[in-house]
Amino acid sequence: MKKAIQKIASTAPLLAGIIFAGCDSPAQDDNDSYEKIYFAKQSSETLQKERDTLIYSGISVGNWEKFRIGAERRILKNEFLIDDLKTRIRKSGKQSDLIFEKKTYILEQKNKNLRNRIIAYPEVQSDWDSFKKEITGELDDLSVELKEMGYKK
């Protein structure tokens, strides 16, 4: 008798979970699918606008994508290093780390600024070669500064 009660007690929550798991409302499903379609349409329109702008300015889309992806990777790596520095500063808790915290904040802002400039380039359409050289140089400088800060700590 005890075993039968234990079996029922252990399977009841499982059955309830199975039954209620499929109880999504159709309105919620419609809303989710609408959001997916809307955002997919928005991103495709944005990509097409960016592509048209780049073609108009005489830059090949392939060169732009290659540069953008490479720069984005470096920016993400910089973000990781900045987060690591912030974590180390918080863990140490020393008063002298206030200077490093300020420097880290400045480097973080430089990194965000680079990302925003890269995102805005298709609308700005400045000289491609000078833009590319400038962004690459600033990314190199930022990487050097981050490495120096990482090795000082």
- Residue 43, pLDDT > 80, answer no
- For the residues 68-91, what does the mean pLDDT come to? 89
pLDDT tens column, 3-13: 666 666 666 66
pLDDT number for residue 52:
58
pLDDT number for residue 153:
44
pTM of the model as a whole: 0.59
Residue 81 CB coordination number (10 Å):
20
Closest-CA residue to 103 (of 115, 111, 91): 111
Q: Taking CA 44 as the corner, what is the angle to CA 42 and CA 47, rounded to the nearest 5 degrees?
A: 110
- Quick one: what percent of the chain has pLDDT higher than 70? 58
Find which of 20-29, 45-54, 141-150 is predicted with most confidence, using mean pLDDT.
Answer: 141-150
Per-residue DSSP letters for 42-81? HHHHHHHHHHHHHHHHT--HHHHHHHHHHHHHHHHHHHHH
Least confident of 15-29, 47-61, 70-84, 139-153: 15-29
